[in-house]
């Protein structure tokens, strides 16, 4: 399923990232970085002017949070059950009962990290009027994805370590899908509109979010309704699963830097280009002359990216009506 040299998994280290998943079309291979200035995002919803309106500006002053358990899954090594939790954020004082849901996924190379890393984004979007969730997912602290990427394995060892990385990445995807399914099933309890669901993430979380939006379906058919999303937000992420991008995928918005040392810009660009080629709406916040990664890049350009992403969500969650 994964390309044999796919592992460029946002692992802090000095080795240069050199490869990403091979996409499905020869004409859509990663292209060279070009251009002297950062690209301006193309947003279908540019017609919408910002005003003091829900989903466009922070009309709520605070958000309240609750921690809940959304399920369990077997540990990657021991198979013992792992309880999976999420922090749910709702706008304080909001009386709406049909709010869109935005699920955030943290980074950490599938080795570590925790859901508190996405608290700031979760609170900020809750203040816009969303219900947001920052989810935990299973990790594999012993994975050797960096060594696989660096070409330090061969033969049977390479096969085993590559399979271990694939298991961690797709396990994270499945846990996120489980969280979305659970939240949909409990939509009435939390004031969620189950027809308006988006997913976003940073670094490994961005990779996971993209895989939720692009790999849960079999080719030529839609994904399961319970875990389907209508939009994906990705801070430095790309798709590593071969032959998985088709017209049934969710619209995708990606921020990325040209010199990202951890997720190859070429892979992020190829993922977006392939999605666009099959008719999927995309937004690019590309900063080709920069090298910041994931949340660091987002915070450097937060005003621009937030404007793009807020309008993108308004469009694709149909929030303007």
Q: What is the CATH number of the domain that holds 264?
A: 3.40.50.1820
Could you tell me the pTM of the whole model?
0.86
Exposure class string for 32-61: b at 16+ Cβ within 10 A, else e: eeeeeebeebebebeebeeeeebbbebebe
Instruction: Examine residue 244 and state whether it is found in any structural domain, yes or no.
Output: yes
Instruction: Examine residue 268 and state whether it is found in any structural domain, yes or no.
Output: yes
CA 70/CA 171 separation, integer angstroms:
15
Q: Which domain holds residue 303?
A: 26-316
Instruction: Examine residue 13 and state whether it is found in any structural domain, yes or no.
Output: no
Instruction: Examine residue 5 and state whether it is found in any structural domain, yes or no.
Output: no
CA 299 to mean position of chain CA atoms = 16
CA 151/CA 146 separation, integer angstroms:
9
Instruction: Examine residue 17 and state whether it is found in any structural domain, yes or no.
Output: no
| pLDDT the model gives residue 51 | 58
Instruction: Examine residue 16 and state whether it is found in any structural domain, yes or no.
Output: no
**pLDDT, tens digit, for every residue of 158-215?**
999 889 989 999 999 999 999 999 999 999 999 999 999 999 999 999 999 999 999 9
Instruction: Examine residue 247 and state whether it is found in any structural domain, yes or no.
Output: yes
- Average pLDDT, integer, range 58-62: 95
CB-based contact 131:100 (threshold 8 Å)? yes
CA 90/CA 202 separation, integer angstroms:
21
Instruction: Examine residue 18 and state whether it is found in any structural domain, yes or no.
Output: no
**pLDDT, tens digit, for every residue of 230-260?**
999 999 999 989 899 999 999 999 999 999 9
How many domains in the chain?
1
């Amino acid at each position: 399923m994964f390309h044999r040299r796919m592992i460029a998994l946002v692992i802090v280290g000095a080795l240069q990232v050199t490869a990403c998943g091979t996409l499905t079309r020869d004409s859509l291979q990663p292209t060279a970085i070009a251009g002297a200035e950062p690209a301006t995002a193309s947003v279908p919803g540019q017609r919408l002017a910002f005003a003091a309106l829900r989903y466009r500006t922070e009309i709520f002053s605070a958000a309240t949070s609750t921690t809940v358990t959304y399920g369990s899954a077997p540990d990657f090594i021991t198979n013992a059950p792992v309880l999976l939790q999420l922090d749910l954020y709702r706008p304080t004082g909001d009386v709406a009962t049909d709010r869109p849901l935005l699920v955030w996924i943290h980074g950490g190379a599938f080795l570590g990290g925790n859901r508190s890393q996405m608290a700031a984004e979760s609170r900020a979007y809750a203040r816009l009027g969303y219900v947001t969730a920052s989810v935990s997912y299973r990790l594999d602290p012993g994975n050797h994805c960096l060594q696989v990427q660096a070409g330090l394995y061969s033969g049977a060892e390479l096969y085993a370590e590559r399979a271990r990385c694939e298991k961690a990445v797709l396990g994270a995807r499945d846990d996120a899908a489980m969280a979305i399914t659970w939240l949909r099933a409990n939509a009435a309890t939390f004031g969620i509109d189950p027809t308006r669901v988006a997913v976003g993430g940073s670094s490994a979380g961005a990779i996971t979010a993209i895989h939720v939006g692009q790999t849960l379906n079999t080719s030529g058919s839609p994904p399961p309704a319970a875990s389907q999303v209508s939009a994906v937000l990705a801070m430095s992420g790309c798709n590593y699963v071969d032959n998985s991008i088709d017209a049934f995928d969710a619209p995708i918005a990606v921020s990325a830097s040209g010199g990202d040392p951890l997720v190859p810009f070429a892979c992020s660009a190829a993922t977006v280009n392939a999605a666009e080629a099959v008719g999927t709406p995309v937004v690019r916040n590309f900063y080709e002359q920069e090298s910041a990664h994931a949340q660091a890049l987002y915070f450097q350009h937060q005003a621009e990216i937030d404007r793009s992403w807020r309008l993108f969500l308004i469009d694709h969650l149909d929030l303007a009506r």
